[in-house]
Amino acid sequence: MSKSGAATGGRQASRTATRKTTGTTDGEHNLWHALQWHSKEDRPLRPDQPHRAAHRELSDRVRPGDADSTSLPEPVRLILRQAQDHLGETLTWYQSLSADDKATLNLVIETAVANFVSWQADLKSDPASDDAPRPSLDHIFFIAPLEFTQVVSLRQTLDVTRVVVDLLENNVAAFAQPGRERQTRDAILYYAREVAFSAAAIYADTAEMRENWKARAEAFAMENLANGVADAGVASQMTMLGWPSDYACFAMVGKLRQEGRLGASAVTRRIRKRVQAIGGQCLIATKDDLTMVLVDPRDQGSPEEVGTGLLHFFAEDAPVCLGPLRRGAEGASRTIRAAITTYQVAPAADDVFVGGRPARPLQADDVLPERALIGDASAVDQLYREVYLRMRQGDPHRILLATLEAFLACGRSLELTAKRLSVHPNTVRYRLKQAVKIAGWDPSNPREAFVLQTALKIGRIKGNAH
């Protein structure tokens, strides 16, 4: 048996974590309100939750060309039509927008221009002066649903602003009051700057909100997996975090090394970048004082290879432990729990060596007996199925099993074992070689003998129970 063979068991936690996705049925759920409302929420929400129905309901009430736009001066309405034509001719990304998204963007543009016309009509002095009224921009962003920030980027928003401002500036004489052309042009530039600043703030808040959502969703998913919950709800959480429906993953558990004042957050960012650099993806969360990293290497290396590349991110004075490679949400839960129990038994694993040195990282499959001793059902099941049952299946008459048990009971002495079984020592030696071929563990090695002895004890206990 390979010492890194797949675990096939695992105790399922009885409790199921609550996984609600909070939402709103308000037809006017939009970017501005979402930002205000989300800041009060503690549960993770989807930042890209579709609100198409809400958007259509709002747009049906305030379509381009309705009350707001028809109240504009005819020259301004002409400029708006020119702007929309210009956007379609010069901006490739605008051409690729859906009809709904174009309607939303045009509605935002008309609202912004209508707001400007209303504001500058009351402007009697330099717009930057202390006594000048300040433009209110909140309702511009009331128009767009939250998901719109993923359709049109901040850079594209500024492109649109530039097009509209250029057209307004070039046609200022068509709608400005006689003698106030310069003041109107100054007002256009001032207003455009305020719109740009406001848009930047909105996009920054939205990005921060998404990051906060992702961090909370990541923490909830990892907590569920660590607690043995791997149902459809957890699989859905991982899908929302960008994981595919089928994947192979392993867990890495340890204490992060401290890096100045930035602490753990800086280290976790570097871990993510390192995993992404090899073409993989990862989730990171903390449990007590441990950091859990779930890695999907995407066939870019074994757990040992990838884990070794991440070792320097972990504290040198504490164990670093690897769970086995497993598939899907159920497998993710098993590898995380295996890595955690491996960390718990690490103080007793001082006889596990790799290349003559203490194992680092310490792999879960190398401490199966210790994990079984602290009640890790997955380790117990793995020893039973992959060592004891394999021996039973390859030794139907139990001759090899009896020889192995006698050899271990006699302190791994060939002579004493031969005497006990009334056979020649060479017969004992031959049988033990056959046992190694079947089980994959060598009883002449003290460490591997411990694995075999534990597996045999588990087999006897389970066999008696049946």
Q: Does 269 map to a domain?
A: yes
Say whether both 255 and 351 belong to one domain: yes
pLDDT digits (tens, 9 = 90+) for 12-63: 333 333 333 333 333 333 443 333 333 334 444 444 443 333 333 333 433 3
Q: Does 13 map to a domain?
A: no
User: Which CATH number characterizes residue 330's domain?
Assistant: 3.30.70.2730
Say whether both 176 and 65 belong to one domain: yes
Say whether both 174 and 241 belong to one domain: no
What pLDDT is recorded for position 413?
A: 96
Give 452 or 191, the one with higher predicted confidence: 452
| Contact between 105 and 97 (Cβ < 8 Å) | yes
Q: Does 459 map to a domain?
A: yes
Q: Examine the fold and report which residue of 364, 398, 428 is the final residue of a domain before the chain moves on.
A: 364
Please give the Cα distance from 9 to 331 (Å, whole number): 10
Provide, rounded to the nearest whole percent, the portion of the chain with pLDDT above 70: 82
**pLDDT above 90: residue 218:** yes
Number of domains in the chain: 3
Length of the chain: 466
Say whether both 202 and 231 belong to one domain: no
Q: Does 424 map to a domain?
A: yes
Q: Examine the fold and report which residue of 182, 212, 242 is the final residue of a domain before the chain moves on.
A: 212
Say whether both 75 and 185 belong to one domain: yes
Say whether both 159 and 263 belong to one domain: no
**pLDDT above 80: residue 348:** yes
Say whether both 77 and 101 belong to one domain: yes
Say whether both 113 and 196 belong to one domain: yes
User: Which CATH number characterizes residue 427's domain?
Assistant: 1.10.10.2840
**pLDDT above 90: residue 210:** no
Q: 125-153 burial by CB neighbour count: b if 16+ within 10 A, else e? A: eebeeeebeebebeebbbbbbbbbbebbe
**pLDDT above 80: residue 94:** yes
Say whether both 67 and 147 belong to one domain: yes
**Rounded mean pLDDT of the chain?**
82
Say whether both 173 and 50 belong to one domain: yes
Ramachandran class of 412: left when φ > 0, alpha when ψ lies in -120 to 50, beta otherwise:
left
List, as own/partner pairs, every contact residues 395-399 make where C-beta atoms lie below 8 angstroms and the sequence separation is at least 24, other chains included: 395/435, 395/438, 399/431
Say whether both 142 and 262 belong to one domain: no
Q: Does 127 map to a domain?
A: yes
pLDDT digits (tens, 9 = 90+) for 366-394: 999 999 999 999 999 999 999 999 999 99
Sign of CA dihedral 61, 64, 70, 71: positive
Say whether both 323 and 200 belong to one domain: no
254-261: average pLDDT: 80
- How many CA atoms are closer than 13 Å to the CA of 276, on its beta-carbon side? 8
Please give the Cα distance from 384 to 463 (Å, whole number): 10
Q: Does 124 map to a domain?
A: yes
Q: Does 9 map to a domain?
A: no
Please give the Cα distance from 211 to 214 (Å, whole number): 5
| Contact between 398 and 365 (Cβ < 8 Å) | no
List 296's β-bridge partners, or say none.
281
Q: Does 6 map to a domain?
A: no
Q: Examine the fold and report which residue of 299, 333, 364 is the final residue of a domain before the chain moves on.
A: 364
What pLDDT is recorded for position 466?
A: 54
What pLDDT is recorded for position 18?
A: 31
Please give the Cα distance from 280 to 249 (Å, whole number): 10
- Domain extent for 245: 227-364
